[in-house]
Amino acid sequence: MYTKDELDKIAATKEAWAAKLAATTKKRPEREAKFATDSGFEIDTVYTPNNLAEMDYERDLGLPGEFPYTRGVQPNMYRGRLWTMRQYAGFGSAEETNQRFRYLLEQGQTGLSCAFDLPTQIGYDSDHPLARGEIGKVGVAIDSLADMETLFDQIPLGKVSTSMTINAPAGVLLAMYIACAEKQGFTKAQINGTIQNDVIKEYICRGTYILPPEPSMRLISNIFEYCSKEVPTWNTISISGYHIREAGATAAQEIAFTLADGIAYVDAAIKAGLNVDDFAPRLSFFFNAHLNFLEEVAKFRAARRLWARIMKERFGAKSPKSMSLRFHTQTAGVSLTAQQPMVNIMRTAYEALSAVLGGTQSLHTNSYDEALALPSNESVMIALRTQQIIGYEIGVCDVVDPLGGSYYIESLTNALEEKAMDYIGKIDALGGAVKAIDYMQKEIHNAAYQYQLAIDNKKKTVVGLNRFQMEEKPVEGLLKVDLSVGERQVAKLTKMKAERDQAKVAALLQTVREAAQSDANLMPVFVDAVKEYVTLGEICGVLRDVFGEYKQQIVF
């Protein structure tokens, strides 16, 4: 980008300037002996073209919508359409969550995002003993198609996109969504949205797994194959770095471990006989927007470039859509504090801005009260308005990749990509993401410890937590889930089960069993079963019986 003579001249100028800097810092020492990002990259005082001497514009940057997609996956990005504003919601009963969905759509939200309760996430019906005390607490309880119909009552599924944060039983919930849409009069080709469906990260850091890795990977490949033919606009997986980051990973680890998981899914699908360009265009990703603002912007750009190169060079993808990393972003839940919760509004705003400057396709902004409770109507409205201000008022969406070309941003993008590639190399050497679960867990644990240590030692400031504290009154107006929701959900489920054709249910469960024991694709079987109100727990119970359950290894 610069000639050697020009770079030499800039280097000489900086050397002379360094003497002035030394004199200044001798008189007035800097705030820190050393500045570094959260990933540990040392930060220089100023960056120049010499930091990018090895960079090739066409190879490393290019134009938006062009390989390697560093600058964005669409040519005009937000000049055409803003990102999807998709607030994560779900609590209590399907009726209560339906009301929240409709409220958010009325406030200008442009897509839905559904949170499920823990029993649903691990494939248990609400009447299972292990579900007691957890029904409807951290998300909505969905036992059968009847609940799904209530959840989306008066919401036309052919006209709104829906993201469902569901992993181990993702195929069953997708089957219910398909059946619900068809009952509304829409075809499978008319619905669009995303299922998270990322089980490897559940083994690594989140914990809502059911089956061992091998059958889990089979189910994921079944979903890839089924949707490529039957539900062509559905995103079949959201490969998730978000929870990896929430568990304590650095930005570099978030890129590396997420893309390593992605490599494992692509490998599994190819081994199952799928063509990479038939399923890869519907892969999507899910990242965290954390507080180290400039590192986060660079992180999104580095992830996009690295995935493009992996898909082209490692898997031989030909379709540009197979190489385009499309991602959803959620602001960092772990950055929210229970102390001075209104300050969380500012944290979330800066995190959201980093995601927009990094080129996200959809975004959830956390509510200020989420360190204390599920968000209230007031707090979730402020969170949505935060996105709307970024999108409509401050001008950052009028140009593509506005920080592209910054010497610091480009240097940091390069450093993050290089560090992520190093991690991926180590994971490959261990046999891939599934074999490297213990390794990734240890790396995350170590990073989390160092981050928390910096807060405890006050080397990292958290306003209201370890500095600038104040006496506070208890927060009022927090959302509380009605404790009777469990009893009501169980009563509704019991009534529904009693009214079904029991012989038909038994026959369908036997079909699920036989399909699981064979090499058949399970998705058509799931769809047939849920249409007759076979429950999530009943289907997952058969899968548990056939495949067994995964037992977590304890890693220190």
Predicted local distance difference test score (pLDDT) of residue 88: 87
Q: Are residues 434 and 526 in the same domain?
A: no
Q: Is residue 129 part of a domain?
A: no
With pLDDT > 90 as the criterion, what percentage of the chain qualifies? 96
Residue 307 resides in a domain: yes
**Rounded Cα gap, residues 149 and 156, in angstroms:** 11
Type and span of the H or E element at 362: strand 362-364
Residues 6+ apart with CB under 8 A from 43: 35, 36, 37
More confident position, 547 or 481: 547
Q: What is the pLDDT of residue 554?
A: 66
Q: Which of 457, 492, 512 is the last residue of a domain?
A: 457
- Check residue 207 and give its pLDDT: 92
Asked whether residue 452 falls in the same domain as residue 495, the answer is no
- Give how many domains the chain has, as a whole number: 2
Domain boundary residue, one of 409, 440, 457: 457
452 lies in a domain? yes
Query: Do 357 and 260 lie in a common domain?
Result: yes
Confidence of residue 481 (pLDDT cuts 50, 70, 90): confident
* Tokens 């990292």 belong to residue: 460
* Neighbour count for residue 438 (Cβ, 10 Å): 14
Same domain membership, residue 347 and residue 240: yes
Same domain, 416 and 357: yes
Residue 427 Cα distances to 250, 254, 441, 446, angstroms: 16, 13, 12, 17
Whether 444 and 493 map to the same domain: the answer is no
Examine the pLDDT at 1 and tell me if it is beyond 90.
no
- Give the residue among 155, 151, 153, 156 at the shortest CA–CA distance from 139: 151
Average model confidence (pLDDT) across the chain: 96
pTM for the model: 0.94
Cβ–Cβ < 8 Å for 50, 5:
no
Residue 443: pLDDT band with limits 50, 70, 90: very high
Q: Give a yes or no: residue 123 inside a domain.
A: no
Residue 330 in domain? yes
The answer, yes or no, to whether residue 540 has pLDDT greater than 90, is: yes
In-domain check, residue 42: no
SS3 of 339-384: the string is: CCHHHHHHHHHHHHHHHHHCCCCEEECCCCCCCCCCCCHHHHHHHH
106: number of Cβ within 10 Å: 8
Tens digit of each residue's pLDDT (9 = 90 or more) over 208-255: 999 999 999 999 999 999 999 999 999 999 999 999 999 999 999 999
Same domain, 450 and 526: no
Which phi and psi angles does 75 have, rounded to 5°? -60, -35
Residue 310: which pLDDT band, with cuts at 50, 70 and 90? very high
358/419 same-domain check:
yes
User: In this structure, is residue 522 part of a structural domain?
Assistant: yes
Whole-angstrom Cα distance, residue 285 to residue 10? 40
| 349: in domain | yes
Same domain, 355 and 234: yes
Judge contact between 163 and 361, C-beta under 8 A.
Answer: no
The string of DSSP letters for 498-533 reads: HHS-HHHHHHHHHHHHHHHHTT--SHHHHHHHHHTT
Is residue 553 scored above 90 in pLDDT? no
CA dist 49 and 407 (Å) reads 6
pLDDT for res 482? 83
The pLDDT value given to residue 483: 81
Q: Are residues 437 and 508 in the same domain?
A: no
> Could you give the angle at the alpha carbon of 10 between the alpha carbons of 7 and 16, nearest 5°?
140
Of 171, 80, 243, 262, nearest in space to 521 by CA: 171
Query: What does the pLDDT read at residue 423?
Result: 98
Report the CATH number at residue 245.
Answer: 3.20.20.240
Do 216 and 289 reside in the same domain of the chain? Answer: yes
Note down the domain range covering 252: 57-85+196-457
Q: In this predicted structure, what is the pLDDT of residue 479?
A: 84
* Predicted pLDDT at 59: 96
Type and span of the H or E element at 31:
none
CA–CA separation, 488 and 140 (whole Å):
13
Say whether both 538 and 405 belong to one domain.
no
Long-range residue pairs from 403-406, CB within 8 A, at least 24 positions apart, any chain? 403/294, 403/297, 403/357, 404/61, 404/70, 404/71, 404/301, 405/61, 406/47
Could you give the percent of the chain with pLDDT greater than 70?
A: 99
